[in-house]
Structure 1
Amino acid sequence: MTEQRPPDTTGLRAWLGLAVILGPVLLVSMDGSILFLAMPRISQDLSPSADQALWILDSYGFAVGALLVAFGSIGDRYGRLRLLMAGATVFGLGSAGAAFAPNPELLIACRTLMGVAGATLLPSALAVLSELFPDARRRAQAIGIFAAAFAAGFAIGPIVGGALLGPYWWGSVFLVNLPVIAAFLLLAPVLLREVRSSGTGRVDAASVVTSVGGLLLTIYGVKHLAAEGMSPLPFATLLLGGATLTYFVLRQQRLAHPLIDFSLFRDRLFTLAIITGLLPLAAWSATAFLSGIYLQSVLDLSVLHAALLALPGATVLTLACLLTPALVDRIGKRAALVVCHFSIAGGLLLLLPTAVSGGIVWYVASTTVAAVGYGISFSVVADTAVAAVPPERAGSAGAIAETGNEIGNALGIALLGSLAALLFRLEGPGLAPTLDQTLRLPSLVPAAAQDAKAAFVMALHVVVVVASVLHVALGAVALRRLPVHRGVLKEAAEPAGRGGRA
């Protein structure tokens, strides 16, 4: 039975509890982007091989994406606050180890450990938050703030990294986590309370293993196929991952207490919301990755200058996350999802006027307009996931939403990034497989450099068009297939009548 609470106990303690939760959430999302700026310094000090450098970057995201669903369900069953405390402790230990790692192998191990801990924090934090705010309106506002913090972490990661890497060594990008973790461990037991469900059954070990293994194998296969082209090992890994995930899905349908309740996807709004969590992250990660190369390698801007140009978009993104609950309350989730996808598509298309000779204004305009849709996506997806299930399943629902985000982030760079790489190889001067490698060639003549930059800009434009078309299509689906009158308060209140559902 799930512990019963009064209809609305929202007060100062709840808002302070939210503030405490936001610290680890900000760190988890920030760590996904902060390391890109530190890699040149890490390469100088630790001399990792090309494969080790890839694992330094990817091991964190692999672990987070593969374990989110499993830890969301484990927290539901064994205690969300307990899992939060354990995850924060491990995240701090992993950060300290990474900061002082003397070799690439230990750094990869510490980054993986941080990813495991990060996977415990996100779904449990969202579930604890839903218990702090039982009132639907207050919960929607709190989840908007939660989403804003998560989004802000992605946006400010490069800015924080650029500021730290000037006066300090590369390990400082990890040590910045420790004060936040220490504050959380001191304040969380005071402001938060343990919440668990005794009616959701035992954790099915086979489901945990197959969900983790299937996601890890699939993400690994996709990433390496994108990087290396069609080769036997990544292709076999992808097939094995797909087969493992298929077995996982079929097994869930036979269990009385599944790790993921796939019946949730019978609701069109829930399904579209989860897709809305995946596709915008794919578009965002791919265009952010390619735009970073455009600003630094095509326009020759410094790393910090390029990071500062993202500030207007980051500001709009944060405001959009905060204001989305009020917007949804006024126009409904259907209209909000339509606005989300069309604003992202419009913002992405503003990158089309960029050129080799300039495009800073278009880049800022693009990120600012698209940020409206990204902010709606973060907030609506999280709120829909929590509101669609009874309280004892909030962690699992939150994990589905966050897993969609992480998979979208991985697939965006893997698929859209590989499309850009293919187009560059076809249209570029043919001297090296990437723009950066081409520009570093010692005997490169100016005309070849100009051709390489032009080929990269063309590839960026094609990726932008593809991502925009996908968002227009999803916006059209939302416009045609979703019911009109489904406000946030009505949907958030529905689980109260289904509290007995496992």
Structure 2
Amino acid sequence: MEPKAGRREWLGLALLALPLFVLAMDVSVLFLAAPHIGADLAPGPTQWLWAMDVYGFMIAGFLVTMGAVGDRIGRRRLLLIGSVAFAAASALAAFATSPETFIAARAVLGLAGATLMPSTLALIRTMFRDDRQRTTAIAVWMTTFSVGVALGPLVGGALLQVFWWGSVFLFAVPVMALVVLLGRALLPESRVAAPDKVDPASVVLSVTTMIALVYALKELVAGGLDVIAVSVLVLGAVAGTVFVRRQRAIPNPLVAPGLFASRVFRAALTLLTIGIFTITAVNFLVPQFLQMAVGLSPLRAGLLTAPMALSAIGGSLAAPALAARWGAATVIATGAFVSLAGYLVLAQSGSDDPLWTVIVGGALAAFGLSPATVLTTDLVVGAAPEEHAGAAAALSETCGELAVALGIAVMGTLVTAVYRLRLDGLLPPGIGDAARESHTVAERVAAGLPPDTGQAVRGAAREAFGVAFSTVGYVCAVVTAGLGALAVLRLRRRDGITVRV
């Protein structure tokens, strides 16, 4: 029987939750502050997509590398280094005066985030050896993300009411300082006893694969078939193929190929990716819908998004007990269809409809998918031997961060496409093409027009954004139905990986 975790381990878990809390805050406040950042820095359409996406691209690109580095140099050491870097990059983002500086800061934040995420999850694997305690610890750890999502809009909205948009990024600085100050006292060092060297070629191939694939997909979705995008896609596919073959051939792989021998392990990663991809649409678009289509202030929009995060908290904390009674496959599949109902409710929301449709729809979507993130992460982490804990954690987080980046890129592009298509039939005669760029641009155009015409442009932009929002709801409903079916088909047999909940 594995030893039980004691007081120090549970206090260490509280400290490990802080970096994830900051990462969640960083994502949610960015969504809330997006209109203000766009109005102040005035980025072009391509710059704005990079400002939103580069953070996720960098995390997705470097997570595998950082997981392997943490296994070798020590997960606690990497966590502390990453905390310092994240605090510095947050300050740079807060005081950015140009789109280029802001994009650079977000890129460094992504790189720092790639050091934090696998380190914390791998340390949980080391500190909580008992299966039940580990599952509970992962549920608490992931619930922290939902708490960050819940408090992010509240804190961010309050800050935006009083200060400039950069203030929302400064929150990370004192929190990361606390992690650095207490990390050595509460967290054990954990690493491979006789570490081998990191293979530089594998690092280059891993980073090239992830960034190239995500970039190419974003460009293909945004602009259709394009020679450059297709070339980058091919580059990513080739680099990925060479990476996989190299991992099988060298004695010091970044990712041990044996981890993928289990069908359940592979299915868990797939389900995690799909679930986070769809829920990103809620986290990304609901705050913008409440501000752009409904016309609420940032603070009120933040308050109305709190029920979604609270529902996610409830679903995450209930996951271990539910799975113990009915099994992980049943809980994940049932939750998926609860989320499907939520997305269908969101799809009925319009700028003139009652706000409860947005609140209830978002809460159902978040509640249904949150158990899947806990249980699939536990499947992945529990399957790996301790010496590969960082690599397994990195794989789990890579799927999650890749899903966030793809969710923003795909759903954001879908919203833009539907918005422009719908707006063409709503704009008053004589209005130029500038209003078609985005709802934010349309508001700026309307401000320079006569009152009646300006009001007509604002109304058209809000209606078009509402139609785009509904379209995303229907798309997410279809994707979530597929997630539920996959859980039933692929997780009924454990295939050698047992997660006791």
TM-score scaled to structure 1, two decimals? Answer: 0.89
Q: Which moved more, 1:447-456 or 1:317-326?
A: 447-456
Secondary structure (helix, strand or coil) at the match of 1:211 reads helix
Is the 1:332–1:484 Cα contact (8 Å) retained in structure 2?
Answer: no
Please state how far the C-alpha of 1:415 moved relative to its aligned partner.
2.1
Kindly indicate whether residue 129 of structure 2 is the aligned counterpart of residue 121 of structure 1. Answer: no
Q: Which moved more, 1:21-30 or 1:197-206?
A: 197-206
Kindly indicate whether residue 6 of structure 2 is the aligned counterpart of residue 11 of structure 1. Answer: yes
C-alpha distance in 2 between matches for 1:422 and 1:169: 30
Equivalent residue number for residue 497 of structure 1: none
Equivalent residue number for residue 217 of structure 1: 212
Q: Which moved more, 1:272-281 or 1:258-267?
A: 258-267
Is the 1:334–1:484 Cα contact (8 Å) retained in structure 2?
Answer: no
C-alpha distance in 2 between matches for 1:83 and 1:288: 29
Of the three residues 222, 237, 241, the one matched with 1:242 is 237
Equivalent residue number for residue 441 of structure 1: 445
Equivalent residue number for residue 320 of structure 1: 315
C-alpha distance in 2 between matches for 1:333 and 1:89: 37
Kindly indicate whether residue 482 of structure 2 is the aligned counterpart of residue 473 of structure 1. Answer: yes
Please state how far the C-alpha of 1:335 moved relative to its aligned partner.
1.2
C-alpha distance in 1 between matches for 2:343 and 2:140: 25
Secondary structure (helix, strand or coil) at the match of 2:78 reads helix
Q: Which moved more, 1:35-44 or 1:376-385?
A: 35-44
Distance 1:31-1:448 versus aligned 2 partners, 3 A rule: closer
Matched to 2:145, the amino acid is F
| 1:113-154 superposed Cα distances (whole Å, 9 cap, x missing partner) | 222111000001001111111111111110100111123323
Is the 1:388–1:492 Cα contact (8 Å) retained in structure 2?
Answer: no
Q: Which moved more, 1:198-207 or 1:311-320?
A: 198-207
Structural mapping, 1:88-107, within 5 Å: 88-107=83-102
Distance 1:238-1:154 versus aligned 2 partners, 3 A rule: farther
Secondary structure (helix, strand or coil) at the match of 1:441 reads helix
Is the 1:337–1:478 Cα contact (8 Å) retained in structure 2?
Answer: yes
C-alpha distance in 2 between matches for 1:145 and 1:223: 33
C-alpha distance in 2 between matches for 1:75 and 1:290: 34
Please state how far the C-alpha of 1:7 moved relative to its aligned partner.
2.0
Identity of aligned residues (%): 38
Secondary structure (helix, strand or coil) at the match of 2:17 reads helix
Of the three residues 189, 198, 220, the one matched with 1:194 is 189
| 1:40-99 superposed Cα distances (whole Å, 9 cap, x missing partner) | 554566565554444433332221121111101111122111111111111122223333
Matched to 1:279, the amino acid is I
Kindly indicate whether residue 141 of structure 2 is the aligned counterpart of residue 146 of structure 1. Answer: yes
Matched to 2:418, the amino acid is L
Residue segments in structure 2 that go unaligned for 5+ positions in a row: 426-432
Of the three residues 473, 491, 500, the one matched with 2:499 is 491
Of the three residues 450, 455, 470, the one matched with 1:461 is 470
Is the 2:39–2:440 Cα contact (8 Å) retained in structure 1?
Answer: no
Distance 1:22-1:107 versus aligned 2 partners, 3 A rule: same
Matched to 1:151, the amino acid is S
Distance 1:418-1:487 versus aligned 2 partners, 3 A rule: same
Please state how far the C-alpha of 1:400 moved relative to its aligned partner.
0.9
Of the three residues 280, 291, 295, the one matched with 1:296 is 291
Q: Which moved more, 1:233-242 or 1:346-355?
A: 233-242
Is the 1:329–1:487 Cα contact (8 Å) retained in structure 2?
Answer: no
Is the 2:279–2:366 Cα contact (8 Å) retained in structure 1?
Answer: no
Distance 1:41-1:422 versus aligned 2 partners, 3 A rule: closer
Kindly indicate whether residue 180 of structure 2 is the aligned counterpart of residue 185 of structure 1. Answer: yes
Please state how far the C-alpha of 1:331 moved relative to its aligned partner.
1.6
Please state how far the C-alpha of 1:236 moved relative to its aligned partner.
2.7
Q: Which moved more, 1:402-411 or 1:255-264?
A: 255-264
Of the three residues 329, 345, 353, the one matched with 1:350 is 345
Secondary structure (helix, strand or coil) at the match of 1:420 reads helix
Is the 1:345–1:469 Cα contact (8 Å) retained in structure 2?
Answer: yes
Distance 1:407-1:451 versus aligned 2 partners, 3 A rule: same
| 1:200-234 superposed Cα distances (whole Å, 9 cap, x missing partner) | 63322111111112211222222233344444333
Of the three residues 363, 367, 371, the one matched with 2:366 is 371
C-alpha distance in 2 between matches for 1:372 and 1:482: 20
Residue segments in structure 1 that go unaligned for 5+ positions in a row: 1-5, 494-502
Equivalent residue number for residue 482 of structure 1: 491
C-alpha distance in 2 between matches for 1:296 and 1:98: 23
TM-score scaled to structure 2, two decimals? Answer: 0.89
Distance 1:415-1:131 versus aligned 2 partners, 3 A rule: same
Is the 1:333–1:487 Cα contact (8 Å) retained in structure 2?
Answer: no
Distance 1:339-1:262 versus aligned 2 partners, 3 A rule: farther
Distance 1:146-1:163 versus aligned 2 partners, 3 A rule: same
Please state how far the C-alpha of 1:450 moved relative to its aligned partner.
4.9
Of the three residues 403, 410, 413, the one matched with 1:415 is 410
| 1:453-490 superposed Cα distances (whole Å, 9 cap, x missing partner) | 444433333322222122212212322343268999x4
Is the 1:353–1:359 Cα contact (8 Å) retained in structure 2?
Answer: no
Distance 1:48-1:433 versus aligned 2 partners, 3 A rule: closer
| 1:270-322 superposed Cα distances (whole Å, 9 cap, x missing partner) | 22221221112211222433333332222222222122111111111112112
Matched to 1:97, the amino acid is L
Equivalent residue number for residue 107 of structure 2: 112
Is the 1:351–1:363 Cα contact (8 Å) retained in structure 2?
Answer: yes
Equivalent residue number for residue 174 of structure 1: 169
C-alpha distance in 2 between matches for 1:268 and 1:465: 30
Q: Which moved more, 1:427-436 or 1:184-193?
A: 427-436
C-alpha distance in 2 between matches for 1:449 and 1:102: 28
C-alpha distance in 1 between matches for 2:353 and 2:87: 42
Q: Which moved more, 1:472-481 or 1:131-140?
A: 472-481
| 1:338-385 superposed Cα distances (whole Å, 9 cap, x missing partner) | 123212212111113323411411111111111222211221122111
Equivalent residue number for residue 499 of structure 1: none
